[in-house]
Amino acid sequence: MNINEFKKKTKTKKASVLAKFKTEILELHNDNYSLNSIVDFLKSNNVNTTFQNVSKFIKNQKDTDIKVQDKEQSKELIETKKEDKKETTSSKFEKVGKDLELKEAPSWAN
């Protein structure tokens, strides 16, 4: 089976109707509106849903935001560690170089 046949047989997941109202839902939630009030708002915009669906949607959005933040923090931490390692390595080489500098030639070199 090639990819075109697969696409014909398999339906894609529809985008959530709630996703269109993500900003509004999260703003109302952050302003401490009840889930039922948010459902009422959505119904006034011709979206028929339940408070359970809204609750799951909000939880999923928060989980997604946390994952994105964690990923960004991980990248920053990795970059910081790389920079620290470079600085440590270069300072070690400088120290080794200074230790190896000869003030005067050894007696056997004369």
User: Each residue of 13-22: pLDDT tens digit?
Assistant: 666 889 999 9
Residues 44-78 pLDDT 10s? 999 999 999 999 999 988 777 665 566 666 667 67
Q: Provide the residue ranges of all domains of the chain, joining segments of one domain with +.
A: 17-91
What's the confidence (pLDDT) of residue 54?
A: 94
The predicted structure's pLDDT at residue 85: 67
**Which residue shows structure tokens 């923090």?**
73
Reply yes or no on whether the pLDDT at 105 is more than 80. no
| Residue 70 CA to its chain's centroid (Å) | 5
Instruction: Calculate the average pLDDT of the chain.
Output: 79
Residues contacting 105, CB < 8 A, separation 6+: none
User: CB within 8 A of 103, min separation 6: which ones?
Assistant: none
- pLDDT for the residue numbered 1: 81
